[in-house]
Structure 1
Amino acid sequence: MSIQLLIAQVLLLLLGLMGVAAARPDLIMDHGLKALLALAATFIVARMHPRTFMKHGLSFWLVTLVLLVLVLFIGVGTAESSGTRRWLPLGPLKFQPSELAKLGLILQLASFFSRRGVQNKLLSATAMIIVTTALIILEPDLGTSVLTFSLGIVLMFAAGVRISNIAGFMLALGLLSLPVIGRYLETHPYIMERWTGHATRGDVPQPGLDQIGLAHRDLTFGGWWGHGPDGLRYQYFAAHTDMVVAAIGFTTGLLGVMMLLFAYWLIVQSSLQVGQLAARIRPMTPEVHGASILATGCMYMIVGQAFVNLLVAAGIFPVTGVPLPLVSYGFSSMLTMSAALGIIHSCMRTVREQLPDEATNPDLLAVPAD
């Protein structure tokens, strides 16, 4: 297993424990148990082979689609969710199928492109991305649907689809979807209210009454070193979920926030290394190609969502409702992201095993292959 990835995961889980302890001390034991289960899931998934993920990619993806359909009929929401249905009840627990759907799309597209290549196969891949995204939009969950759609684009690029083809696909889809977008925004007016409210926040002298303003105050009070898990200065409903970075900043200060960013950077660096090493294997087998796509997709699923969450906490994006991966309270996201890390571990091991001896020298990675 990759030591860098393990360090990143443990660091994120520990920071999440400190953030939840400051925001909701009553949930710390529950969150700690879920963090241990998530870490165990990473070790279990890491022992599998990328061939297994791609073999069952279609089945897994279809199951996630069924779950997304079910959530439209029997799903539940929360008091703060504006009437949306995003969770399936499982006894005393609730599970968010959209988190699994992102992972299912990664497995299916990696399997599809590794088996069939990228020439003249874009229509089927496009349909997979659109179907998955559309079902998430219907919940409605605009933030997750945008992340899912962008994930599909990244997977296309990682598979080797030409930029011109991707750009043409996005342009055509954007033009065709304009009437649907207009109707969607009319049906769900709270989405525009969030955007317009976000745009006018700068005109308010003291925006501290909203949760982003309160999160900013907690970050400011954290200073360089933080105040420890003694409880936040202000209380707001998303302090342990979407705005957990504010709790981390209050508890550990700027040092903790920098450690958070460093952990995500380690995930990016490790995942990109899989692609760099895979490019040195000649000929590139479908298995190696698929492993490279899997690693890139899983990396983007984690770090892309973290990027959006942090921009929301910084006040650059309006509230989207996406958790901070491996940090926020909530088992659906934590378990899925931990499984994604396990897949990256598996892909790293497989690619290293197939490298020629001379390619394992790190000094040679920067030298273009002949």
Structure 2
Amino acid sequence: MDPFYPLIGFLLMAFGLLGVGVAEPTLLGGHLLRVGLALPAMALGALLPPRLLLRHALALHLFTLFLLLLVLILGDGPGGVRRWFYLGPMSFQPSELAKLTLVFYLASFVGRKGHDYPILGPALLVGSTVGLVLVEPDFATALFLLTLGGFLFLLAGVPWRRLIAISLAGLLVLAPFSGVYLSRFAYVSERFVGFLSYLKGEASPKETAYQVLQAQKAILMAGPLGQGPGATLPHLPEAHNDMVFASVVFATGWLGGLMVLFLYFLLFLKGFHLSLRLRGPESLVAMGLTLYLTLQAALNIGVTVGFLPVTGVPLPLIAYGGSSLLVSGFALGVLERLSRETRPKEVNAWSS
């Protein structure tokens, strides 16, 4: 067993408990339940052979597409969005699962066909995934999935010219519908307008950038060592979820915030090193899951400190949210399994 990944997971989840406890004490019990489910998910990811998941990657991603289609019909959510299946006290968001199955599907495809094989089929499947998430609507997650898929194609060695040609074709198809989409889902443009107002110093409590200003206020009030887990957080919308990093810093101080950043940085370095030690599709899985966890963390923290527009993308392993915790916990378990499988090869190499 490689203790690195479980230790990183436990530490980040512990920070999450502190952040949620400060932001919304009444939700701490529910978050504990979600953490309790994420730990078996991590164990399951560490038990399942990656080759088994790669062998059934297409079926798993097609099942995810079915769930994404079904949630548009039977799903629910605040403000008329359709992103979640509500299962009693728990909820499930298929778009979180799509981040995981997309990595396995693209890694499996490249492993079977090679990097110079025509990628129209996988590109259409990625586009279908992004499109279904886009109409939920969840613009930020759709953009994240598109970015993740693009990175995986590049890491697999797919030629630039092929990616550019497919991207241009996709833009030509989507461009006529952009106006309809933005008028139907006005929150997308409102978030960008709010971010521009923040950059110009004109943000008000009625604008999206108000969250960013309040998050910055909480971070400044934290001081080097924080206000402690029992302190009262300034008014901050979504402090337990989208802005949980500010809650964590408020409770643990700038030192705690730096420690969270350091943990994600270590996670990236370890995943990058792991992908170099692996061969074939397993290498792409290691890098893809590492990017999923660390790139999403960078986006969330970038929003919190005001570098990016508000996206609604959760902070992996920390934010309140059952789907995100389950999927990120499973991803961490898979990385632990991949790390463990490299060790016998290294021992044999040294002994020979």
TM-score past 0.5 threshold = yes
Question: In structure 2, how many angstroms separate the alpha carbons of the residues matched to 1:110 and 1:290?
Answer: 5
Following superposition, the deviation at residue 208 of structure 1 comes to 6.6
Following superposition, the deviation at residue 49 of structure 1 comes to 1.1
Equivalent position of 1:239 in the other structure:
239
Contact 1:64 1:100 in 2 (8 A): yes
Aligned-residue identity in percent: 36
- Give the counterpart of 1:196 among 180, 193, 196: 193
Question: In structure 2, how many angstroms separate the alpha carbons of the residues matched to 1:98 and 1:71?
Answer: 10
Equivalent position of 2:302 in the other structure:
311
Following superposition, the deviation at residue 239 of structure 1 comes to 0.6
Following superposition, the deviation at residue 97 of structure 1 comes to 0.7
SS at match of 1:227: coil
Amino acid at match of 1:342: G
Amino acid at match of 2:252: T
- Larger mean Cα displacement after TM superposition, 204-213 or 132-141: 204-213
> Which ranges of structure 1 fall in alignment gaps of 5 or more residues?
279-287, 361-370
Aligned residues: 349
Q: Deviations over 1:132-177 (max 9, x none)?
A: 1111001010000001011111211222223343334334433443
Equivalent position of 1:145 in the other structure:
142
Contact 2:191 2:309 in 1 (8 A): yes
SS at match of 1:98: helix
Following superposition, the deviation at residue 7 of structure 1 comes to 2.3
Equivalent position of 1:133 in the other structure:
130
Is 1:347–2:338 an aligned residue pair? yes
Equivalent position of 1:83 in the other structure:
80
- Larger mean Cα displacement after TM superposition, 294-303 or 233-242: 233-242
Question: In structure 2, how many angstroms separate the alpha carbons of the residues matched to 1:191 and 1:208?
Answer: 18
- Give the counterpart of 1:110 among 102, 107, 114: 107
Question: In structure 2, how many angstroms separate the alpha carbons of the residues matched to 1:183 and 1:255?
Answer: 46
Following superposition, the deviation at residue 252 of structure 1 comes to 0.7
- Larger mean Cα displacement after TM superposition, 217-226 or 52-61: 52-61
Q: Deviations over 1:58-99 (max 9, x none)?
A: 121111111101111111112xxx421111122332111100
Question: In structure 1, how many angstroms separate the alpha carbons of the residues matched to 2:205 and 2:86?
Answer: 35
Question: In structure 2, how many angstroms separate the alpha carbons of the residues matched to 1:13 and 1:356?
Answer: 32
SS at match of 1:353: helix
> Which ranges of structure 2 fall in alignment gaps of 5 or more residues?
none
Question: In structure 2, how many angstroms separate the alpha carbons of the residues matched to 1:113 and 1:356?
Answer: 28
Is 1:180–2:171 an aligned residue pair? no
Question: In structure 1, how many angstroms separate the alpha carbons of the residues matched to 2:102 and 2:28?
Answer: 32
- Larger mean Cα displacement after TM superposition, 124-133 or 22-31: 22-31
Q: Deviations over 1:191-234 (max 9, x none)?
A: 11111121012344675772221111110000111010123331
Following superposition, the deviation at residue 329 of structure 1 comes to 0.7
SS at match of 1:296: helix
- Give the counterpart of 1:97 among 94, 119, 125: 94
RMSD: 2.0
Change beyond 3 A, Cα 1:207–1:4: farther
Question: In structure 2, how many angstroms separate the alpha carbons of the residues matched to 1:168 and 1:206?
Answer: 39
Contact 2:155 2:284 in 1 (8 A): yes
SS at match of 1:200: helix
- Give the counterpart of 1:293 among 274, 284, 298: 284
Question: In structure 1, how many angstroms separate the alpha carbons of the residues matched to 2:244 and 2:195?
Answer: 19
SS at match of 2:80: coil
Following superposition, the deviation at residue 344 of structure 1 comes to 1.2
Amino acid at match of 1:218: A
Change beyond 3 A, Cα 1:58–1:223: same
* TM-score (normalised: structure 2): 0.93
